[in-house]
Amino acid sequence: MSVAETVTTTPRSGRLKVAAITIVGIGALVAWVLTQMSLVSFFAQVLNGLSFGAILFFLAAGFTMIFGLMRIANLAHGGFYLMGGYVGITTVLVTGNFFLGLLAGGASIMVLGVFAERILLRPIRGLEKPEVLLTIGLTFVIGDLSLAVWGGDPRQVQLPEFLKGAINPFGTFFYPKYRLFVLGFAIVLGGVLFYIDRRTKIGAIVRAGVDDRETVAALGINIKAVFTAAFMFGAFVAGMSGVIGAGILALLPGQDFEILLFALVVVIIGGLGSLEGAALGAAVVGLIDSFAKALVPELSFFTLFAPMAIILMVRPTGLLGKVQ
Amino acid sequence: MTRWNELSLTRKVQLGLLAVAAVAALSIPFVADTFIIRLVTLSLVSALFAMSIDLMAGYAGLVTLGHAGVLGSAMYGVGYVASKTDGGIALQIVVGFVVGMIMAAIFGLMAMRSTGVYFIMITIAQGMIIWGLASLLVNVTGAENGLLGIRRPLRVTSDVDFYFLVLAVFAVCSILLFIVVRSPFGQALKGMRESESRMRMLGHNTAFLKFYMFLVSGFFATVAGILLVYLNEFVSPSDVILGASAIPVLMAILGGIGTLIGPVIGAFVIVFLRNWVSLELERWPTLMGLIFILVVLFAREGLVGAIAAWWYRRIDKGGRPATAAPSVLGAPDHAEVILTESG
C-alpha cells in the first residue's frame, strides 16, 4: 500500500485557510509566550528546543529513511538510542575520548541493526505488521539487557574539556557550549545528508527506492543491499545520537520509549519518508517541548498531543509527507 | 433453536469445552488458594482487555499499541475520585467510565483517518502521551508514587467475592463481544480488515466506522480498567507504559488473533508464565520480548490456529481456518514478489 492510498488528502482550496489559521495561531502563541518570559530566556529556550530537536533529527532521519525504503516502522529505534548511548558512555570512560565514544556507540548499534535486518526481519519481509511487532519485541529485549548491564541509575557521558562550560558572547547571555555543538553537528550532518540525497547517485537510488522499489530493482540495482545499507545507516545514527543525547539528558531505563515517542511524533508531524519532514518535525517538536517544559512542566508530554491531533486532522501524511 | 444432534462435531466439542471451562471457573475458589485465585482474576481482566484490543487488531485489522491509555485513563479516573476526594464507589465508577470513554473518543478522532503502520505509530504516541501525563501531572496522578487509598466496594472486599464479580462481568462482556462481532458492525470491521478501499467503494464511511470501533473497544477496555484498579487497589504510571499496551497484543496473537477465545487463552498463558518466571529470575521483559519475536516469526496463527489446523486436518475434515492471522499478519494483497522472496 503506498503512502497515498492510506490517507485522504485535503482539497487545495482548504489549504490557504489552514495556512492562514496556522500562522495566526503560532503568532498568538509566540506573543503569549513572550509575555510569560524575558527575551533572553525566550532566546535560550529557542536554543534549547533546537538542540533537543537536533537529537530528534538524528533519530528521525534514520527512522524515516528506513520507513521510506522498506516500509518498516522500526520501533527499536528508541532501544538503539539507549543502548548506543550506554556503549558510548562506557567507551568514553575507558578511553577518555569523546569522539571514540560516538563512533563506538554508532558502530555497535550498526552491528545490532544488521543482525536485526538480516536475521530477524528478512524472513518476514513485506509483512508490515509482523515487522513492527518484531521490532517492539526487540525493544523490550534491548531495554532489559541494557538494564542488566548498566543498571538503573541515570548516566551521563563525560564531555571533552573544550565542550564543557558555557559561552558568554554578549556579556549577559550564558549558554552551554555543548548544546551549541550538538546544534552545529546536526546542521553539518543535515547538510551532508541533503547533499547526498539531492546531488549524488546514492541519494538518487534512495529517493527512487522510496518512490518505487520494484522499478529500482528492475533497473538492476541490488535493492536488498540498499535496504541493508539504509538499516545500517539508521542504526549507526541512532546509536550515535544516544551518545550525543547522553550529554544533555541523562540516560536511564525507560528513556528508550520516551525518545521513541518523540521520534514518532516528529515523523507523524513532519511526514514519513522525507528528510525535510524529519528536519522540520524535529525543530517543531524540540521547540514545543522546550517551551512546554519551561512554562507548563506538568503537561510537557501532553503539549505534543495538540499539534499532532491538528496535523492528523488536516494533513494525515504530515506536513511534508508524500501525497501523490 | 438448533437441536444438539444437528450440530457439527466441531460445534459440539466447542460447547463441551465451554461447559468444562464454566464448571472450572465456578469451582476454582473452592479448590485453589488465594494466590491462584488472584492470578485467575488478573487473567480474566487481562483477557477482557486483550479481547477489546483484538476487536480492533484481529477483527478490524488495526493493530493498536496504545490501548493501555484508555484502560489507564479509566483506572486513574477511579483512583482520583477514591484518593483525592471523598466520592463513593458509584461516583468512582462513573468518573472512571466517563474518563475512559472520553479518552477512547479522542484516540478515535485522532486515528480514524489512518491505517496500517501509521495507525500503529499514532496509537503508540497516544498511549505514551497518557503515560507522560501519568508521570508528570503530580496533583492529579501522584506521578511515580501513583494513587493510593483505592478500596474495593464493601461487598466484594475478599478475593473470592471479587473473583466472582470479575467472572460475572467477564461473562457478560464476552457475550456482548460475541454479539458485537456477529453484528453487521462486526462484519463491517472484518470487511475493513480484508480491504478498506473496497469497503469505502461499497459506501461505508470507514473513518466513522473506526471511530465507532474505538468507542466499542474502548467500552470494554474501560470496564477492564475499572476492574483492574479495584483488583490492584492501586494505579501508577507503570499501568500505562508501552508494555502494558503491547502485552495484550501479544496475548491476542499468541492465543489466536481474530478470535474471541484466542486472547483469553493468551492472557492465561502470559499471566501465569509471567508470574512463574518472575519467581525464578529477574529478566521477564527479555523473555517477553523474545516470545514476541518468536511468535511473530514462527507462530502467527497462535495456539487456536495451531489446534484448529490439526483438528480440521485429522478430525473434522473440511472446516475453515479459525484465526484472522493470514489477513492481519500475513502479506498485504499488494506485497511485492521481489520483497517476499527469501534469500
Interval A115-174: pLDDT, tens: 999 999 988 888 888 999 999 999 999 999 999 999 889 999 989 888 888 887 777 778
Q: Is the pLDDT of residue B118 over 90?
A: no
Joined together, the cell numbers standing for residue B20 give: 468444562
Whether residues B292 and A137 touch (CB distance < 8 A) is answered with yes
Helix (H, G, I), strand (E, B) or coil at A251: strand
| Higher pLDDT, residue B304 or A311 | B304
Return phi, psi of residue B256, to 5°.
Answer: 145, 105
**Mean residue pLDDT across chain B:** 89
What mean pLDDT do residues A49-66 have?
A: 93
Buried/exposed A33-61: b ≥16 CB within 10 Å, e otherwise: eeeeeeeeeeebbebbbbbbbbbbbbbbb
Could you give the CA distance from residue B72 to residue B70 in angstroms, rounded to a whole number? 5
In the structure, what pLDDT confidence band is assigned to residue B335 with cuts at 50, 70 and 90?
Answer: very low
Place of cell 493510593: B148
Residue A1's pLDDT band (cuts 50, 70, 90): very low
Residue A152 sits at the chain B interface (C-beta within 8 Å): no
More confident of the two residues B239 and B153 = B239
Q: What's the angle, vertex CA B184, arms to CA B182 and CA B189, rounded to 5?
A: 85
Query: What is the structure's pLDDT at A306?
Result: 77
Provide mean pLDDT across the span B263-275.
Answer: 95
Q: Which residue has the cell 511485492?
A: B336
The band of B139, judged by pLDDT with boundaries at 50, 70 and 90, is confident
Query: Partners of B235 in the beta sheet?
Result: B147
Three-state secondary structure call for residue B331:
coil
Mean pLDDT of A56-64: 92
pLDDT at B331: 66
- State whether B242 and A305 contact (CB < 8 Å): no
Taking every pair of Cα atoms in chain B, the longest distance, rounded to a whole number of angstroms, is 64
pLDDT at residue A181, rounded to an integer: 93
Enter the DSSP assignment of B152: -
> From CA B270, how far away is CA B288, in angstroms rounded?
9
pLDDT tens readout for residues B300-313: 888 988 888 888 88
Percentage of chain A exceeding pLDDT 90:
45
pLDDT for A8 beyond 60: no
Where do the H-state alpha helices sit in chain A? Answer: 12-36, 39-70, 77-95, 98-115, 128-150, 177-199, 201-211, 213-218, 223-245, 255-270, 275-295, 305-314
pLDDT beyond 90 at B13: no
pLDDT 10s digits, A245-273:
999 989 999 899 999 989 999 988 888 87
Q: Cα distance from A301 to chain B (closest Cα, Å)?
A: 5
Q: What is the pLDDT of residue B340?
A: 38
Mean pLDDT of A236-253: 93
Residue B46 has pLDDT above 90, yes or no: yes
Mean pLDDT taken over chain A: 87
pLDDT of amino acid A259: 92
DSSP secondary structure of B198-239: HHHHTT--HHHHHHHHHHHHHHHHHHHHHHHHHHHT-B-GGG
Please name the helix (run of DSSP H) or strand (run of DSSP E) that holds residue A295, with its range, or none: helix A275-295
CA B99, CA B103: separation in Å to the nearest integer? Answer: 6
At residue B205, what are phi and psi to the nearest 5 degrees?
A: -85, 95
B341: confidence class by pLDDT, cuts 50, 70, 90: very low
What is the per-residue pLDDT across A69-108, written as a single tens digit (0 to 9) for each? 888 889 999 999 999 999 999 999 999 999 999 999 999 9
Best mutation target among B128, B140, B241, B295 (most A Cβ atoms within 10 Å) is: B128
Q: Rounded to whole angstroms, how far apart are CA atoms B136 and B134? A: 6
Q: Whole-angstrom Cα distance, residue A215 to residue B85?
A: 64
CA distance B41 to chain A (A): 26
pLDDT score for A12: 59
Between residues B180 and B320, the one the model is more confident about: B180
- Residue B203, all three cell numbers: 459506501
Give yes or no for A252 touching B (CB within 8 A): no
CA-CA distance, B255 to B259, in Å (whole number)?
A: 9
Residue A65 scores a pLDDT above 50: yes
Confidence of residue A11 (pLDDT cuts 50, 70, 90): low
Mutate to test the interface with A, among B205, B254, B339 (most CBs of A within 10 A): B339
Q: pLDDT by residue (tens digit) across B152-180?
A: 887 888 889 999 999 999 999 999 999 99
Q: Do A309 and B331 touch (CB under 8 A)?
A: no
Asked whether the beta carbons of residue A308 and residue B296 sit closer than 8 angstroms, the reply is no
Rounded CA separation A321/A319 (Å):
6
Test B335 with A148 for CB contact under 8 angstroms.
no
What is the pLDDT at residue A7? 47
Residue B85 has pLDDT above 80, yes or no: yes
Question: Do B292 and A260 count as a contact with CB atoms less than 8 A apart?
Answer: no
Residues A186 and A307: their CA atoms lie apart, in Å, by: 24
B315 pLDDT tier (thresholds 50, 70, 90): confident
Q: First and final CA of chain A: distance in angstroms?
A: 12
Residue B261 reports pLDDT greater than 70: yes
Residue B37: the pLDDT is: 94
Task: Tell me the mean pLDDT in the region A198-219.
Answer: 87
Contact B322, A108 (CB under 8 A): no
CA distance B214 to B258: 16
Answer with the residue of higher pLDDT: B156 or B263. Answer: B263
Predicted pLDDT of residue B342: 35
Cα–Cα distance for residue pair A266/B339, rounded to 1 Å: 28
Which range scores top for mean pLDDT: A7-16, A314-323, B60-69, B147-156?
B60-69
Q: How far is B94 from chain A (nearest CA, A)?
A: 24
Cβ of A34 under 8 Å from any chain B Cβ? no
Please give the Cα distance from B110 to A38 (Å, whole number): 35
CA distance B72 to B239: 6
> pLDDT at position B338, please?
37
